[in-house]
Structure 1
């Protein structure tokens, strides 16, 4: 996660096929992954419900990904701040500092229903929050879903009334099996580069919510 996000316009079009723990592939398809490009492409009347939520807790500090598949199984990935001293042996060891820590669990009907109902109450399946700005240096949620045969995408950023009113996050965090604590929202200096020391290399970007997914992006250098 600590590599410089040197994406060009053509890279923004790289289509996600789902979460990957290869950090290079993840960089190139990250915007498509956040908006659920693969979910949108596969969604139809006969498609099982599927939900993807991404929590950006300052991109270089913590990203949490949540995949609820067919309302039965929850996959969670947590990508933390990179420490370049944590290299291992072999190809896998070289990539290890940028890889997510993955964990999953099954949900019963009551648990999955509580989460989906909270998303519905919070407007996840209604009109998207068009023009909501999302900065890698801040805190935000993206929500992509194939719900009852239709694709939906929206997002909310902190601080905002939508964030304060949201209920799904408490439900989701209560179901989260990861032992890694959530990085809570706080004020950050969005107009400055905070490298955090020589062991961290920052990845920075801006994007916003569009009518049918993300509406472009702006890498910052």
Structure 2
């Protein structure tokens, strides 16, 4: 399969999905947290999205966490998407090999408070590094959400002290409900910092790069249109 260099275009995300077609069409919108941003400040629920990109073509895991403003605590939905495993392909579901694994977890009020405190200590709610560019074949955490009616967006690229000093990944590992191990990190001097060369792209896969900046309202997010076609196309996809 020929390699694909993806631009920032697609449909609007409505949240996490195990539909591989919808996931590809809405991935940039999902990374940008468009669905969370549109609801931010309209209700009292806090929402957090943490995405670990360990080479998009090999391993991606996501955590969507929604706080319960009435009872405390939060609901966690985790997805792990790895290189397609053809042994899971079934005739009843031709997309089964690319759906990934999904698991859920309920955090108590104390666990959720500890989680938010760890994010605060790691600077998640502070402005992100300026002009940061993240290649899809690289390793990084991207985090966004809505806390107390305020939008936040940041990233932790590897290798960097920001990445290695962060302690929230350790907390996520301890509560991860999927049972799937995190991949190992390459040596810092071997970690991709840019997209592959044109010759390497011919090996196949999906390649893209995202850049972090501010929009016209001063809010941080991905530079460029993330969902120019809206949610209409997404509603017509199988399984939605």
TM-score relative to the length of structure 1 = 0.85
Answering whether residue 135 of structure 2 is matched by residue 135 of structure 1, we say yes
1:154-165 aligned at under 5 Å gives the runs 154-165=154-165
Q: Distance in 2 between matches of 1:178 and 1:31?
A: 24
Q: Distance in 2 between matches of 1:59 and 1:214?
A: 17
Please report the RMSD computed on the Cα atoms of aligned residues, expressed in angstroms: 2.3
- Superposition deviation, residue 85 in structure 1: 5.2
Q: Is the 8 A contact 1:130 1:210 kept in 2?
A: yes
Q: Considering Cα pairs closer than 8 Å and 6+ residues apart, tell me whether 1 or 2 has the greater RCO.
A: 2
Q: Distance in 2 between matches of 1:97 and 1:61?
A: 13
Q: Distance in 2 between matches of 1:122 and 1:188?
A: 22
Hey, what does 1:116 align to over in structure 2? Answer: 116
Hey, what does 2:83 align to over in structure 1? Answer: 81
Q: Distance in 2 between matches of 1:18 and 1:159?
A: 28
Residues 3/151 of structure 1: CA separation in 2 closer, same or farther (3 Å cut)? farther
SS at match of 1:216: coil
Structure number, greater radius of gyration: 2
Q: Distance in 2 between matches of 1:129 and 1:112?
A: 26
Q: How many residues align?
A: 208
Quick one: which of 196, 212, 216 aligns to 1:209?
A: 212
Answering whether residue 39 of structure 2 is matched by residue 35 of structure 1, we say no
Greater CA deviation, 55-64 or 124-133?
124-133
- Superposition deviation, residue 4 in structure 1: 5.4
Could you give the per-residue CA deviations for residues 131-169 of structure 1, whole angstroms, max 9, x where no partner exists?
222111110111011001111111111001111221111
